Copies of this chain bind each other. A is one copy, B any other.
Amino acid sequence: MPTVDQYLQTNAPRFEQDLCELLRIASVSTDPAYRAEIDRAAQWVADRLRRLGLSTELIQTEGHPLIYAESPHIEGAPTALVYGHYDVQPADPLDLWISPPFEPTVRDGNLYARGATDDKGQFLTHVFSVEAWLAAEGRLPLNVKYLIEGEEEIGSASLQAYLEQHADRLACDCVVISDGAQFAPGQPAITYGLRGIAYFDLVLKGPARDLHSGTFGGSVTNPANVLARMLASLVDEHGRIRVPGFYDDVVPLSPREREGFARLDFDERRYFEQIGVDGAIGEEGYTTLERRWARPTCDVNGLWSGYQGKGAKTVLPAEAGAKFSFRLVPNQDPSKITAALRAMLAAMCPPGIRFELTAHHNSPGVLVPLESPYVQAAARAIEQAFGRAPVFTREGGSIPIVLSFHEHLHADTLLIGWGQDDDNTHSPNEKFALGDFHRGIGASARLWDELSRVTK
């Protein structure tokens, strides 16, 4: 593929400029205040695909727009569906960003911006690789379709609905997703398992107004005290989650998987150093990688109650709230767990407190068969572009849509993330290494070639 390679090399600076254009659009999906930016980002993506000569549609939904595009059909060739998302997480806390979240800035070979690695910089690698094929070779060796959404960070409702209604249009042999991390710098990976999630908002309402904690304390149930008790009750002293039946459907890690993880070049001390901690507690009997990738969790994501300012305010708060979520492993059922959780918390709710449990988005975990010829094709493409064979790993985060692709399209999903673990996804100072960006484009260009050779 010398002509494609030549094109990639020549156009590398322009790919960076194009990415920066998209990164300047603050397409935060969880906050309605950013709706105009969402629309601008969707329009940008549609324009970009249209300029490649692809048949492109900007699809309005009840939520944020979807973009669908497809290359001119080649009869008999395999079909790959590229999935990505143009929406991003909120940028707060803003004061911790070294450069502003929506002004992409290069430092030490890294591009810093909200969305750089999650997922704008990653999904665009599969756009630029197609551009290179079309410009350098005048053709693609296979059929490529794109489905790009704007609700990944808030549950993908519109995409899910579209997928249910248009499975025929989206029919493909494999789904290509770059929305995660390599195993380490210089060590690419193919991720064959993802955790699911069940996310909740818990609000406890006590007295009708904030009260003086001296005048009333002791005689009124304090919702913040009860909240602490409820949250503490979710995990026992061995790091096991106490929601009844929580582990019933968990498929144990196989000895082969545990051995594979143990063989990986994982430096736990360096991992903790990067995070800035001296160690960690977690579920007893499991290694750090197992806890991260393949065991369920319970994490409090947010807390609020009473007085949060400076100094002391002697208030007995009227309300207290928490956001918390379980990461689920394959075969756990979010609905079953939601029901068990609700019953457990309702039983704990004392006189003087009304409780409201809201279930946000949820999704089960997913595993992809390692034997798939498409997985093997991806491994070859990655080895060529990165100069090193990928390792096979799992991932602690969720891409709920992967499960839907599996259910509705019956296609294997190739999870080939170009990012790094320290990219500060969802945190201040999110970044994407420019080297990984360009190697990703190169691997994507080779992937089209390798996939075109798979015998169906």
Residues in chain A within 8 A of chain B (CB atoms): 30-32, 89-90, 92-93, 96, 154-155, 181, 195, 197, 199, 201, 206-222, 224-225, 227-229, 231-233, 235, 271-272, 275-283, 288-289, 291-292, 295-317, 320-323, 325, 327, 350-353, 360-361, 395-398, 421, 424-429
CB distance from A27 to the nearest CB of B (A): 14
Chain B minimum-CB-distance residue to A428: B209
Chain B minimum-CB-distance residue to A207: B275
Which of B199, B212, B292 sits near A314, CB closer than 8 Å? B199
Find out whether the CB atom of A211 lies under 8 angstroms from the CB atom of B313.
Answer: no
Cross-chain pairs A/B with CB under 8 angstroms, 6 sampled = A30-B312, A214-B396, A218-B283, A219-B396, A228-B303, A312-B360
Find out whether the CB atom of B316 lies under 8 angstroms from the CB atom of A215.
Answer: no
Chain B residues contacting A197 (CB-CB under 8 Å) are 214, 314
Find out whether the CB atom of A323 lies under 8 angstroms from the CB atom of B352.
Answer: no
* Copies of this chain held together in the complex: 2
Find out whether the CB atom of B323 lies under 8 angstroms from the CB atom of A306.
Answer: yes
Find out whether the CB atom of A292 lies under 8 angstroms from the CB atom of B225.
Answer: no
CB distance from A49 to the nearest CB of B (A): 28
Q: A214 to B289: give the CA distance in the assembly, Å.
A: 13
Which of B232, B301, B312 sits near A316, CB closer than 8 Å? B301
Find out whether the CB atom of A292 lies under 8 angstroms from the CB atom of B92.
Answer: no
Find out whether the CB atom of A323 lies under 8 angstroms from the CB atom of B313.
Answer: yes
Q: Beyond A209-B96, A222-B299, is A360–B215 a contact (Cβ under 8 Å)?
A: no
Chain B residues contacting A397 (CB-CB under 8 Å) are 212, 214-215, 314
Chain B residues contacting A30 (CB-CB under 8 Å) are 309-313
Find out whether the CB atom of A327 lies under 8 angstroms from the CB atom of B214.
Answer: yes
Apart from A195-B214, A215-B421, A217-B396, list 17 A-B contacts with CB within 8 A. A154-B312, A199-B312, A206-B277, A212-B425, A215-B397, A218-B297, A218-B396, A219-B289, A225-B300, A228-B228, A228-B232, A300-B306, A301-B306, A301-B317, A302-B307, A312-B323, A312-B325
Chain B residues contacting A289 (CB-CB under 8 Å) are 219
Chain B minimum-CB-distance residue to A295: B218
Chain B minimum-CB-distance residue to A399: B214
Q: Beyond A212-B397, A225-B298, A325-B314, is A280–B426 a contact (Cβ under 8 Å)?
A: no
Find out whether the CB atom of A306 lies under 8 angstroms from the CB atom of B313.
Answer: no
Chain B minimum-CB-distance residue to A229: B232
